[in-house]
Amino acid sequence: MSSRYRKYDGGDPLAPPVDIAEALDAIGEDVMAGYSPERAMREFLRRGGEDRAGLDDLARRVAERRRDILQRHNLDGTLTEVRELLERAVLEERKQLARDAMMDDGDRAFREMRLDNLPDSTAAAVTELSDYDWQSSEAREAYEQIKDLLGRELLDQRFAGMKQALEGATDEDRAAIQEMLSDLNELLEKHARGEDTQQDFDDFMAKHGDFFPENPQSVDELIDAMAQRSAAAQRMLNSMTPEQRQELMELSAQAFGSPQLMEQLARMDANLQSLRPSEDWGGGESFQGDQGVGLGDGTGMLQDLAELDALADQLSQSYGGARLDDVDLDKLARQLGDQAAVDARRLQELERALRKSGAMERGFDGELRLTPKAMRQLGKALLRDVAQRLSGRQGQRELRQAGAAGDLSGATREWQFGDTEPWDIPRTMLNGVLRRAGDPSGPRLSIEDVEVAETEARTQAAVALCVDTSFSMAMDGRWVPMKRTALALHTLIGTRFRGDSLELIGFGRHAETMDIEQLTALDARWAKGTNLHHALLLANRHFRKHPNAQPVLLIVTDGEPTSHLEPNGEVFFDYPPHPMTIALAVRELDNARRLGAQTTFFRLGEDPGLARFIDSMARRADGTVIAPESDDLGAAVVGSYLGSRGPRSRFGAGSYGDFFGGRGFWVG
């Protein structure tokens, strides 16, 4: 048995499991704002959480790295190095000619003239000196370095690391490379004809495998790796200026002192391009920096840029069927470091957890939607927020008491100042015994030992929450607070007041009853009209269905009624409000009062006309007017509902400090 080990790349092994609660809260908010659940999930993954990098952050870093490569480097590194070697060779040769007193004056003059008349072009000068008989050994060595450098750079373009591996190479090494290139081209051409076998590939790798550290397992893997590098080399040439490209083409013939290397490489490039035409052979980049790079390093940068482009596409998730599992973590770690790959892996785990958690499901139409489980979880979060807001109003606190007077619920809690509930004696005494076990010298009974019994008020209510869904609600930023309010109230009634019956009624140009999933997913409606008359008709129908329950009417609106329902079922709209529209709304409000409804209006906005209308309607219904800010709407509505379940109270406009009267709630 053998084992293989590699560097651990899974991030913090002690990190807690993925927590989807934060994600679900954010997704729910976006869904209520009109996003589809799929888009809401994508948006959260893009933004990330409080302590988690998102896709946008990773994409930004990818873009920054790409920009840094282009702005820092240029592609004339090899040409500059060749030029410097040429200048050194010519300088050393001139020095030698000046020192050599034994040389014939005519021969010296001829050599100096030849050096003086070298072409301005580096490539042409190198070619001109290819048959020059160097007198200086230092000059000859510098010129030979030019040919060696060109050969190693051209090979490094196609085989990464070859420049360093062939430094100081012998003639036998160069012959081995020529043989490898010849055998490789034969294998590629045989594969193109469909005549190759696995044995051909195995024989090639057995003979030349040292040139391929990637250790491909098939000819296709070999072609894939080489075609990517060869295409990057071509893109590098495309990125050069025409002058640079011409210089390089002319110099290539001097590689290793023979044009054979370039001929074999050109043959290989042609074979690879015909086998992998889908690679990007025609692209190019604009390098603008001052740090020159050689052919091999430049080709590596073009490969890096291609990887960064692929990562940017994967991180954008903008294509059909995109999943975070598409992100190549190995490439991400190579380009941005291990921590970036860990961040992306956590996002992948989060996406899988969201899809498998039961929080989202696909409906019959194939669209992703929040499940009832997710709605309950979101509702509990909203209810906790409401509880915190209620606890801060006019010195009030979050209450665990289930009613100051009523039936025992079976639950207990720690006594707090102001509580009037009966003590739970067994729990209180047990707390004292347990405390004294750790501190025998302490008192037998302390105030922190006291627990009181919760009581439950056993009244039943029929609640109609009428929410304005006209275009002004969305236009003025009240759309999401309205939905949050409805969901919080729905969750409270569904978890703590199951005997109550809640009807959600949305009213715009016309009114309709909705379930909570329908309301939270409702897109903003831009049709004009506020049909309070139709909403009250539906609310009164709900009250009549529950004759033994206390009717509670909650109306959230930011505009006067501008439409009503005609006897034939058609909708009438007029602005300013038509007298008939007002009269019909008032008639249905009177019907609600005769049914015994406790009515609260929640007026949004500062319109004086709306304020006068709402105040007059509230007086007529013996009801209450609240004018909360949008962020406080949920606390106001829930507080009003809780107050309606206790002794009936009267409140002035803008007051909701005593809403929960004798009936509070606890959100665990």
504: in domain: yes
Mean predicted lDDT score pLDDT of the chain: 83
User: Which of 198-212, 248-262, 309-323, 455-469 is predicted most confidently?
Assistant: 198-212
227 compared with 381, residue with greater pLDDT? 227
Is a pLDDT exceeding 80 seen at residue 157? yes
Per-residue pLDDT, 41: 81
Q: Which domain holds residue 334?
A: 21-73+307-370
- What percentage of residues in the chain have a pLDDT greater than 90? 43
525-534 pLDDT, tens digit each: 667 889 999 9
14: in domain: no
Q: How many domains does the chain have?
A: 4
Is a pLDDT exceeding 70 seen at residue 422? yes
24-81 pLDDT, tens digit each: 777 777 777 667 677 778 888 888 877 778 899 999 999 999 999 999 999 989 999 9
Say how far apart CA 383 and CA 635 lie, in whole Å: 9
Closest CA to 601 of 582, 588, 614: 614
Is a pLDDT exceeding 80 seen at residue 329? yes
Q: Are residues 136 and 233 in the same domain?
A: yes
Per-residue pLDDT, 6: 55
294: in domain: no
Is a pLDDT exceeding 50 seen at residue 200? yes
371 compared with 215, residue with greater pLDDT? 215
Q: Average the pLDDT over each of 85-99, 211-225, 646-660 and give the range with the smallest value.
A: 646-660
Per-residue pLDDT, 592: 95
Q: What is the pTM of this model?
A: 0.64
Question: Which H or E run contains 217?
Answer: none
Block residue for tokens 């009269």: 583
| Mean pLDDT calculated for residue range 554-577 | 92
| Mean pLDDT calculated for residue range 128-133 | 90
Q: Are residues 92 and 194 in the same domain?
A: yes
Q: Are residues 107 and 198 in the same domain?
A: yes
Expressed in percent and rounded to 5, the helix, strand and coil fractions of the chain are: 55, 10, 35
Tell me the one-letter amino acid at 434.
Answer: L
116-125 pLDDT, tens digit each: 999 999 999 9
Say how far apart CA 400 and CA 389 lie, in whole Å: 15
Say how far apart CA 540 and CA 585 lie, in whole Å: 12
Q: Are residues 209 and 323 in the same domain?
A: no
587 compared with 474, residue with greater pLDDT? 587
| Mean pLDDT calculated for residue range 211-231 | 92
CATH number at residue 603: 3.40.50.410
- What percentage of residues in the chain have a pLDDT greater than 70? 86
Helix axes 338-356, 37-47, angle to 10 degrees: 160
Per-residue pLDDT, 45: 86
End-to-end CA distance of the chain: 54
- The model's confidence at residue 584, banded by pLDDT at 50, 70 and 90, is very high
Per-residue pLDDT, 370: 72
Q: What are phi and psi of 439, to 5 degrees?
A: -145, 80
R_g over Cα of the chain = 40
User: Do 133 and 110 form a contact (C-beta atoms < 8 A)?
Assistant: no
- Taking every pair of C-alpha atoms in the chain, what is the biggest distance, in angstroms? 131
Per-residue pLDDT, 645: 62
Per-residue pLDDT, 397: 32
Is a pLDDT exceeding 90 seen at residue 643? no
8: in domain: no
DSSP code at position 409: E
The two beta strands, 550-557 and 461-468, are: parallel
Q: Are residues 166 and 112 in the same domain?
A: yes
DSSP code at position 155: H
65-88 pLDDT, tens digit each: 999 999 999 998 999 999 999 999
Is a pLDDT exceeding 90 seen at residue 544? yes
Q: Are residues 490 and 571 in the same domain?
A: yes
385: in domain: no
173 compared with 357, residue with greater pLDDT? 173
268-292 pLDDT, tens digit each: 999 999 999 999 999 889 999 999 9
Per-residue pLDDT, 597: 93
Please report the DSSP string for 309-362 in residue order: HHHHHHHHT-STT--GGGS-HHHHHHHH-HHHHHHHHHHHHHHHHHHHTTSEEE
Is a pLDDT exceeding 90 seen at residue 582? yes
175: in domain: yes
Q: Are residues 531 and 580 in the same domain?
A: yes
663: in domain: no
Per-residue pLDDT, 665: 37
Per-residue pLDDT, 648: 42
Q: Are residues 103 and 45 in the same domain?
A: no
Q: Average the pLDDT over each of 154-158, 218-222, 328-332, 636-640 and give the range with the smallest value.
A: 636-640
- The model's confidence at residue 303, banded by pLDDT at 50, 70 and 90, is very high
User: Do 38 and 368 form a contact (C-beta atoms < 8 A)?
Assistant: yes
Per-residue pLDDT, 666: 35
379: in domain: no
Peptide bond into 481 cis (omega under 30): no
Q: Average the pLDDT over each of 46-60, 334-348, 387-401 and give the range with the smallest value.
A: 387-401
Block residue for tokens 């929410």: 467
Q: What are phi and psi of 393, to 5 degrees?
A: -85, 120
Q: Are residues 465 and 537 in the same domain?
A: yes
Is a pLDDT exceeding 80 seen at residue 575? yes
Q: Are residues 196 and 345 in the same domain?
A: no
Is a pLDDT exceeding 50 seen at residue 188? yes
Q: Are residues 85 and 222 in the same domain?
A: yes
Per-residue pLDDT, 475: 82
Which tokens in the block code for residue 380?
A: 């509990």
- The model's confidence at residue 194, banded by pLDDT at 50, 70 and 90, is very high
Q: Are residues 434 and 355 in the same domain?
A: no
| Mean pLDDT calculated for residue range 307-335 | 89
Per-residue pLDDT, 229: 92
What is the three-class DSSP state of 400?
coil
Which of the listed residues 344, 370, 396 is the one where a domain comes to its end?
370
